Amino acid sequence: MPLPIDHSRLIKEKAHRLGFSYCGIAKAMPLNEDARRLENWLKQGYHGKMKYMENHFDLRIDPTKLVPGARSVITLLMNYFPENSQQEHAPKIASYAWGKDYHAVLKSKLKQLLAELQEEIGAITGRGFVDSAPVLERTWAQRSGLGWIGKNGNLINKNSGSFYFIATLITDLPLGYDDPFAKDFCGTCTRCIDACPTDAILPDKTIAADQCISYYTIELKDALIPKEASGKMEGWMFGCDTCQTVCPWNRFSTPHEEAAFSPLAEILNLSTREWMNMTEDQFTKLFKDSPLKRPGYKGIIRNIQFISVPD
């Protein structure tokens, strides 16, 4: 009869065949320390107008409430580091959004992984999550040995940097568990803090999300971006990669091999004028499978207008 460690080995083999770069497994349990940290972060108002962050608090900190009977949390990383680069004067777009929407890509792979496990192991229950559910995914990645949470809030893998999507599969299957990643290799480095255009990275490893360019350009639904961000956007139209590009650990990043993340030609090449001249119908057709659909046409135009205003 297969042991839990055998099942863990099987899961990792299948994960790699599906294109995931890393797979780690942790025991499902309440995250009491994270609960205190999250509660304080919310009280400080660092989530801005992202009110959904206040919802389902108990589910965020306890996977057994999110998935009844949960025994194991499987964390998977998928590389999205690009081989290409945008034209020098194009409005800047965070590289995770250059190809197809990662939510759909990773959810499909999680569904396939679970189906294959059910076929080989038997009647197991599981749910896959990608960034849009109350799961503290970076904590689970650290707990499963995949890296540490850097000063910029990103999970950093010692061998490959931080350009990774994180997917989570919570299951009632008991497994062999990986050791947590115990060390923080950021050390005294403050490059991400120093480079953040809007000072959203605080010295105590806290991210003031309500000041982050990604928040302004994606999550904020207001008709106007706050005036205090004027002159600080550094050309970012959608998201921001600054804290990752300056991170020394990303010198180990290598280009991804996932066809779905291949960049759209328009994202690499369109000028500010071409973006501004685009109609809503054209936008909808071009970016129907892209993360850019989250702020939508009006949000993108708002962002371009804001970053195009002279300082």
C-alpha closest to that of 216 among 96, 131, 299, 310: 299
Alpha carbon distance 101, 104 (integer Å): 6
β-bridge mates for residue 27, sequence order: 72
Beta pairing, strands 164-171 & 126-129: antiparallel
Alpha carbon distance 294, 300 (integer Å): 9
Helix-then-strand count for the chain, H and E: 13, 8
β-bridge mates for residue 126, sequence order: 171
Q: Which region holds residue 296: left if phi is over 0, alpha if psi is between -120 and 50, else beta?
A: left
Q: Round to the nearest angstrom and report the end-to-end CA distance of the chain.
A: 68
The set of catalytic residues is 131
Tell me how far CA of residue 19 lies from CA of 126, 147, 257, in angstroms: 20, 19, 8
- Only one residue has tokens 């999110």, namely 66
Alpha carbon distance 72, 7 (integer Å): 12
Alpha carbon distance 171, 113 (integer Å): 12
Residues 6+ apart with CB under 8 A from 130: 102, 103, 106, 107, 110, 165, 166, 167, 168
- Helix, strand, coil distribution of the chain in percent, nearest 5: 45, 15, 45
